[in-house]
Amino acid sequence: MGVEYHEVFIRNSRGVQLFTCRWLPFSSPKALVFLCHGYGMECSRFMRGVGTKLADNGYAVFGIDYEGHGRSAGARCYIKKFDNIVNDCSEFFKSVCAQEEYREKKRFLYGESMGGAVALLTHKKDPSFWHGALLVAPMCKISEKVKPHPVVISLLTKVEDVIPRWKIVPTKDVIDSAFKDPAKREEVRENKLIYQAKPRLKTALEMLRTSMHLEESLHEVTVPFLVLHGEADIVTDPEISKALYEQASSKDKTIKLYPGMWHGLTYGEPEENIEIVFSDIISWLDKRNGENTGDASLIERSVCRATSTPPYEMHTVSSPATMKETKPHRTRPQANYLCGLKGRRMHHHSSM
């Protein structure tokens, strides 16, 4: 199936120029999928694999670079208000859905890392509008192991309006921790659209507040969702996805855990692992669109991790790359991290 790619610049309600892109199948799409990228990331290059893979399987895929990210205007990776990101996404996504050729199509959100938080908050703005969400290693809760002390938060909050754009938040180079494949790790480093400096103070606090807010309201999530997480992820804790699965009020919810896989499930893993992840994503989408996938291999490689009443599912998925080799030991550091993700103490930061 062929894929068309288009780019369009739009202006948000604050007059800021934002970059948008879309991957379209040549035939009428099965449904619409809207991409929410991670912190410091962008859509046109980094999420090209997601867009082309889903479009090649019949889905129309739409992406937007947040203000200050990628090819959009604004101070680089400066998040003055997290709500601005959510509002921009919601307005753009709904403008697409309102187009005549898409009005009758089902609508799905797709979020990676911080984009998982964006997707969940976009859903919460209008819960009945969305038919489902795909959440890849989402930032939706802060692990108790790394939650900053209230005194630290209080001190930083007192100076955030004085030095909001200062790049003073110390964290480890996340690229090394997020992407397993060394060649793909270097591709990320070479992508100049990806922010690779230290987080700004206001940005870090906005992400922290957003994570804490989501943590307190996971029970309000009602959208059908598939959450996917690598069990060797030390950027966002897999326990976060488990908490979402356990606490969400959604009647249709699925979690898939991948032993040995890292944070970058759709880009940073060996190709055979990426194929497993996309197979699970497409199978989930097809089933919600009434497609009979007949994918026996999915059942064979999925081992039930916990029993529950259908349609609840919880799977752990073995990957060829992890079955063939001894799993390396990756320690979970005692971290100083303010962005709802994980990191190590007092080191230079890179993007995710």
Q: Residues 83-106: what's their mean pLDDT?
A: 98
Residue 329: its pLDDT value, please?
45
Q: Are 257 and 317 in contact (CB under 8 A)?
A: yes
Q: Are 33 and 59 in contact (CB under 8 A)?
A: yes
Q: Are 39 and 343 in contact (CB under 8 A)?
A: no
Q: Which residues in the chain belong to E strands, given as ranges?
A: 3-11, 17-25, 31-36, 60-64, 106-112, 132-136, 225-230, 253-258, 302-304, 313-317
Burial degree of 79 (CB within 10 A; 0-12, 13-18, 19+): buried
pLDDT of 105 > 80? The answer is yes
Backbone angles phi and psi of 44, in degrees to 5: -60, -35
- State both tokens at 222: 């009602």
Give long-range contacts, CB 8 A cutoff, 24+ apart: 314-317: 314/245, 314/254, 314/255, 315/254, 315/255, 315/256, 315/257, 316/231, 316/256, 316/257, 316/258, 316/259, 317/256, 317/257, 317/258, 317/259, 317/276, 317/280
| Range with lowest mean pLDDT among 32-41, 53-62, 256-265, 327-336 | 327-336
Give the SS3 label for residue 21: strand
Give the SS3 label for residue 6: strand
pLDDT of 254 > 90? The answer is yes
Q: Are 347 and 173 in contact (CB under 8 A)?
A: yes
Residue 165: its pLDDT value, please?
78
Residue 5: its pLDDT value, please?
97
Backbone angles phi and psi of 61, in degrees to 5: -120, 130
Q: Which residues contact 63 (CB under 8 A, 6 or more apart)?
A: 20, 21, 22, 34, 35, 37, 43, 44, 47, 51
List, by residue number, the catalytic residues: 113, 233, 263
The number of CA neighbours under 13 Å toward the Cβ of 232 is 23
Residue 58 or residue 349, greater confidence: 58
Q: Which residues contact 234 (CB under 8 A, 6 or more apart)?
A: 177, 262, 263, 330, 331, 332, 333, 342
Q: Residues 224-240: what's their mean pLDDT?
A: 92
Residue 143: its pLDDT value, please?
59
pLDDT tens-digit map of 256-284: 999 999 999 999 999 999 999 999 999 99
Order of strands across the sheet with 253-258? 3-11, 17-25, 60-64, 31-36, 106-112, 132-136, 225-230, 253-258, 313-317, 302-304
pLDDT of 312 > 60? The answer is no
Q: Residues 208-229: what's their mean pLDDT?
A: 94
Burial degree of 216 (CB within 10 A; 0-12, 13-18, 19+): exposed
Residue 179 or residue 159, greater confidence: 179
pLDDT tens-digit map of 66-87: 999 999 999 999 999 999 999 9
pLDDT tens-digit map of 130-165: 999 999 999 987 655 556 667 777 777 777 777 777
Q: Residues 212-225: what's their mean pLDDT?
A: 94
Residue 350: its pLDDT value, please?
34
Map out the domains of the chain as residue ranges.
3-142+218-322
| Amino acid identity, position 192 | K
pLDDT of 335 > 70? The answer is no
Residue 137's nearest CA partner among 3, 274, 236 is 236
Residue 41: its pLDDT value, please?
96
Taking residue 90's Cβ as centre, other Cβ atoms within 10 Å add up to 18
Residue 168: its pLDDT value, please?
67
Residues making up the chain, counted from first to last: 352
Q: What is this structure's pTM? A: 0.83
Backbone angles phi and psi of 289, in degrees to 5: -105, 15
Q: Per CATH, which fold does 3-142+218-322 belong to? A: Rossmann fold (3.40.50)
How does the average pLDDT of the chain come out, rounded? 82
Helices assigned H by DSSP within 7-111: 48-56, 82-97
| Range with lowest mean pLDDT among 35-39, 177-181, 327-331, 337-341 | 337-341
